[in-house]
Amino acid sequence: MDAGIYAQVKIDCHCHVLDPDNFAYADDVAYRPAGQETGSATYFENLLNAYGVQHALLVGPNSGYGTDNRCLLDAIANGAGRFKGVAVVNLDASLAQLQDLAAQGVVGIAFNYALLGLDYYRAAGPLIDKLVQCGLYLQVQVTGDQMHALEPQLRDCGANLLVDHCGRPEPADRAADTGFDAVLKLAECERASVKLSGFVKFTHHDFPFADTHGHIAELLAAYGPAHCVWASDWPFLKAPRRLDYGPLLQLLAQTVPDEHVRRQILWDTPKHLFGFGA
């Protein structure tokens, strides 16, 4: 691996802690991660130490926990300032509930359109208004052409926006990918940022996912490094191919060779956006 990326300060902006031994999964979840798809906060801290990663933005997974944020909040509470979180809540979550989550280190709420569909969130307007009141990010994961339908609403909603996994484009037909075009258009809204992550969710190739490199370049050109962050997506739930943390860092070094730009993506931008170290 490029030693330079080891030496750089780093923040991982999308990862999950799944610890079913200490935080049992919800009864009604559709998928229950097991084996190498799980990892406690203690194990994850050791992983971060091994790769010289100072902070991480933990995302509550729909798999395993659904709207049960106890594992996430416990990791933040015991992380000595190392972690912040993105939680999953019911659409009828109260302002008081959101304020309580914010007080515990949560900086955003996840909307997983890719998993639950557009119709599930039709009535989410009041919740988004509460996110604005609390200063919480609206994190969105989309797939296919979903962003084509969502972009006008998101642009006008008033919330700070965080797009997961490059917007999960379709590399096989870039010219017809209206969803990714809408992800790029959303960059015109200065409240929007994007995670350079999740390549295995949309690539058609093995590592180093050559068919995604053009999308990274387009996102950087549209959003600029002040609105791009990096993420591993550890521990790689439902990954169709083997993934490891180190090669994903190496991939960033390959696709973003400018060390100054990498520092912005890995450190300056997430530190500013999410308040790490404050």
User: Tens digits of per-residue pLDDT, 109-165?
Assistant: 999 999 999 999 999 999 999 999 999 999 999 999 999 999 999 999 999 999 999
pLDDT over 60 at 1, yes or no: no
- How many CB atoms neighbour CB 190 within 10 A? 11
Domain encompassing residue 106: 3-274
pLDDT at 272: 97
What is the pLDDT of the chain when averaged over all its residues? 96
Q: With contact defined as beta carbons under 8 Å apart, do 161 and 138 qualify?
A: yes
Residues 166-198 have pLDDT tens digits of 999 999 999 999 999 999 999 999 999 999 999
95-101: long-range contacts at Cβ-Cβ below 8 A with a sequence spacing of 24 or more?
Answer: 95/130, 95/133, 95/134, 98/130, 98/131, 98/134, 98/136, 99/134, 101/69, 101/73, 101/136
pLDDT-derived band at 31 (thresholds 50, 70, 90) equals very high
The percentage of residues in the chain with a pLDDT greater than 90, rounded to a whole number, is 95
Average pLDDT of the residues in 199-204: 96
Q: What is the distance between the alpha carbons of residues 35 and 106, in angstroms, rounded to a whole number?
A: 27
Query: What predicted TM-score, i.e. pTM, was given to this entire model?
Result: 0.96
Number of domains observed in the structure of the chain: 1
Q: Kindly tell me the sign of the dihedral angle through the C-alpha atoms of 131, 110, 270, 70.
A: positive
Q: What is the mean pLDDT of residues 228-257?
A: 96
Tell me the pLDDT band of 277, cut-offs 50, 70 and 90: confident
- The CATH number of whichever domain residue 245 belongs to comes to 3.20.20.140
